[in-house]
């Protein structure tokens, strides 16, 4: 009997099993390359996985939403993972004695800088209003950023892409920038990576140093809370900037 | 592990319910994180099972971003038209934010350490 490849293909292209398997395999390939290269920042596992899957979808002609329907089981775990950030944060806060003022000042400065600089640069480079709004929450972790983007008139799925790109850029450039600026303490390095490059920056910080990782987790959690609280203000500010320029 | 996973989901669910019931701007999982943080800070220590499960999920945190990242294919048109502005904004803003945050924290910690 001749195997019916047509039928197999119809099953494979629509089954969540394929999307899930492809996502995990692409990520494992990315992680393998990353480890083999001696953890070269440019070979970020997320970046490699996204490129591989994007190529696969383009070549096979499967559209993104069909893929996402299956891969959403992985995407769903972002929720519990966000809640799980409370664990390293709680451990860190229990061992910390003072120094909270410095943390909150750095958080406020970083959080505002991230949103304002993204909006100003994009607007100066003539991006459309919708794109500018999609860029504003780019330093916050994905689920939070998508919610904010929707509220201030951005495109949530474009925001998700910008958030991932920010994370990858931060993970790649962050350590070089910190070295160049002679920022040497692990708490400052980790916290800066977490505020600027959320979970992907944190994943990189965790690999480099345990303290840096804990401070990065703390930054992701606090930055999410801070930015979510600042949404109405930041949205109005961004509109004001676009209106005046 | 099963208990810990349930604890995480319960916190997220409570967060989602609160976000919708009170029409809050803060997303559900972030409220869930706040709830769990309050509970853990109130307790003497973090339960071992919860600690292990959380570390397990967070160790592969970057994998969870892949499906959203592939969304790039759905926006190739916008990215094609505005890629200079988007890339310029992302790189510029990320570098500035890393610098400002790291610099402020290191400066303030130094000052405190110098004073003591």
Residues sharing a CB contact under 8 Å with residue B20, sequence separation 6 or more, in sequence order: B28
DSSP H stretches of helix in chain A = 5-14, 16-36, 45-60, 64-76, 78-84, 86-95, 100-124, 129-135, 142-152, 156-180, 186-208, 210-244
What pLDDT score does A152 carry? 77
Nearest CA in chain A to B57: A81
Q: How far is B114 from chain A (nearest CA, A)?
A: 13
A167 touches chain B (CB under 8 A): yes
Nearest CA in chain B to A228: B26
Q: Considering its fold, how many domains does chain A have in total?
A: 2
Q: Are residues A179 and A146 in the same domain?
A: yes
Last residue in a domain, options A54, A75, A96: A75
Whether residue A204 has pLDDT greater than 90: no
**First vs last Cα of chain A: how many Å apart?**
70
Q: Are residues A110 and A148 in the same domain?
A: yes
Residue A5: exposure state from Cβ atoms within 10 A (0-12, 13-18, ≥19)? exposed
Domain boundaries, chain B: 1-59, 69-116
Q: Which pLDDT tens digit goes with each residue over A20-46?
A: 999 999 999 999 998 898 877 778 888
Q: Are residues A65 and A182 in the same domain?
A: no
Q: Which pLDDT tens digit goes with each residue over A64-121?
A: 888 988 898 898 898 898 889 888 888 888 877 777 888 889 998 998 899 889 999 9
What is the Cα–Cα distance from B67 to B73, expressed in whole angstroms? 11
Q: Are residues A183 and A69 in the same domain?
A: no
Q: Which pLDDT tens digit goes with each residue over A144-167?
A: 787 778 777 788 878 888 888 898
Q: Are residues A188 and A153 in the same domain?
A: yes
Q: Are residues A58 and A99 in the same domain?
A: no
B95 touches chain A (CB under 8 A): yes
Q: Are residues A160 and A226 in the same domain?
A: yes
Tell me the average pLDDT of chain A. 84
Q: Are A206 and A190 in contact (CB under 8 A)?
A: no
Q: Which two tokens stand for residue A67?
A: 């893929």
**Owning domain of residue A8:** 1-75
Nearest CA in chain A to B103: A183
> B-contacting residues of A 99-158, CB under 8 Å?
99, 101-103, 105-107, 109-110, 113-114, 117-119, 121-122, 125-128, 131, 135, 138-139, 142-144, 147-148, 151, 155, 157-158
């Amino acid at each position: 009997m001749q195997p019916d490849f047509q039928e197999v293909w119809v099953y494979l292209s629509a089954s969540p099993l394929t999307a899930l398997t492809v996502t995990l395999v692409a990520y494992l390939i990315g992680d393998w390359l990353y480890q083999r290269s001696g953890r070269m920042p440019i070979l970020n596992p997320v970046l490699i996985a996204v490129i591989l899957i994007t190529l696969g979808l383009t070549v096979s002609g499967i559209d993104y939403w069909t893929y996402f329907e299956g891969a959403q089981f992985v995407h769903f775990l972002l929720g519990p993972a966000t809640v799980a950030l409370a664990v390293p944060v709680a451990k860190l806060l229990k061992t910390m004695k003072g120094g909270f003022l410095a943390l909150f000042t750095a958080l406020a400065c970083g959080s505002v800088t991230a949103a304002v600089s993204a909006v100003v640069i994009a607007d100066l480079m003539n991006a459309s209003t919708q794109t500018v709004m999609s860029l504003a929450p780019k330093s916050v972790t994905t689920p939070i950023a998508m919610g904010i983007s929707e509220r201030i008139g951005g495109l949530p799925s474009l925001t998700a892409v910008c958030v991932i790109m920010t994370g990858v850029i931060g993970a790649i450039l962050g350590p070089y920038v910190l070295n160049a600026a002679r920022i040497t303490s692990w708490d400052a390095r980790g916290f800066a990576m977490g505020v600027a490059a959320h979970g992907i920056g944190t994943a990189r910080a965790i690999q480099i140093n345990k303290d840096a990782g804990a401070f990065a987790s703390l930054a992701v959690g606090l930055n999410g809370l801070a930015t979510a609280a600042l949404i109405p203000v930041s949205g109005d500010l961004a509109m004001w900037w676009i209106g005046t320029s | 592990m099963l208990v810990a996973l349930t604890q995480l989901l319960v916190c997220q669910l409570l967060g989602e319910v609160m976000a919708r019931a009170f029409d809050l701007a803060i997303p559900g999982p972030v409220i869930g994180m706040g709830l769990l943080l309050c509970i853990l800070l109130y307790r003497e220590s973090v339960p071992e099972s919860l600690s292990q499960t959380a570390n397990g999920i967070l160790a592969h945190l970057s994998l969870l971003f892949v499906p959203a990242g592939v969304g790039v294919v759905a926006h190739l048109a916008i990215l094609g038209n505005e890629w200079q502005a988007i890339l310029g904004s992302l790189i510029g803003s990320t570098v500035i934010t890393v610098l400002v945050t790291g610099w402020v924290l290191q400066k303030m910690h130094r000052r405190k350490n110098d004073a003591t």
